[in-house]
Amino acid sequence: MSVAKKQYKRITVKSLVEMKSHGEKISMLTAYDFSMARIVDQAGIDVILVGDSASNVIAGHETTLPITLDQMIYHASSVIRGIHRSLVVVDLPFGSYQSDPKEALRSAIRIMKESGAHSVKLEGGSEIKESIKRILKAGIPVMGHLGLTPQSIYKFGTYTVRAKEEEEAEKLKEDAKMLERIGCFALVLEKVPAKLAKEVAESLTIPVIGIGAGNGVDGQVLVIHDMLGMDHEFNPRFLRRYADLNTIMTSAIKQYNDDVKSRDFPNDEEQY
């Protein structure tokens, strides 16, 4: 379907719901620093996620669990300085919202106040309903996240596709409805069967953004390091690589190394 695209000067949570109602797909990518955020924003991506995947791709941890609230605020405030148009969503990190709604609200307020971000994302459904409601009540927009929720990796035991079985799929559908009902502005569905993701997207008026959730949802999100090909060893089926930065960067860095060692760099024009 070809759709006349409305030009948005700034993406807001309202624009996203509008985009869904017009049938315009929503683009979302992660970014964790000023330079990358500036490129992503200028390339026209609608939503920038300051994901807790920073724990993996920036800090080199095996899971997203170690990243702290202070570190997320540092990444988010760097991203905010690089953007003009994109909506910025920041992950509440593991341990900053699970214990009770008051703690969740305190963490969300710190992110909004100290980074200047526009919204927060929390992983989970009915278990964290009261925390989400408390954050929403304070006027902070919330994006939900269901399916594979990496902060629960030690409960799942594996990063494989979620909700393949009836019982888990039913719970996911109920949680998605609940998140819309209490006021979340959008929802990420990670690594669930495409048929289920499409059904959920069609049953909601808020946008559903997929990662490994097929093409029947309202938008797509990828981790920027993955889609730019920074790591040759990460090859999940859902990932499309749009560049091979690992090869490009390695070759440029090797060339620089050779040029320094051979005294080719700097030449007469490259000095004062």
Catalytic residues: 190
Sign of CA dihedral 185, 188, 189, 195: positive
- Indicate the residue among 67 and 169 with the shorter CB distance to ligand KIV: 67
Min dist CB 262 to ligand KIV, Å, is 41
- Indicate the residue among 12 and 63 with the shorter CB distance to ligand KIV: 63
- Indicate the residue among 204 and 221 with the shorter CB distance to ligand KIV: 221
CA–CA dist 110, 97 (Å, integer)? 12
Q: Which residues bind ligand KIV (CB under 6 A)?
A: 30, 49, 51-53, 91, 188, 190, 211, 221, 223
Min dist CB 222 to ligand KIV, Å, is 8
Q: What is the dihedral of CA 6, 10, 13, 14, to 10 degrees?
A: -40
Q: CB of 27 within 8 A of CB of 48?
A: no
- Indicate the residue among 222 and 251 with the shorter CB distance to ligand KIV: 222
Min dist CB 130 to ligand KIV, Å, is 22
201-210 contacts, C-beta under 8 A, 24 or more apart: 203/173, 203/176, 203/177, 204/176, 204/177, 204/180, 205/17, 205/20, 205/21, 205/180, 206/17, 206/20, 206/179, 206/180, 207/16, 207/17, 207/19, 207/20, 207/26, 208/176, 209/26, 209/28, 209/47, 209/143
Min dist CB 272 to ligand KIV, Å, is 43
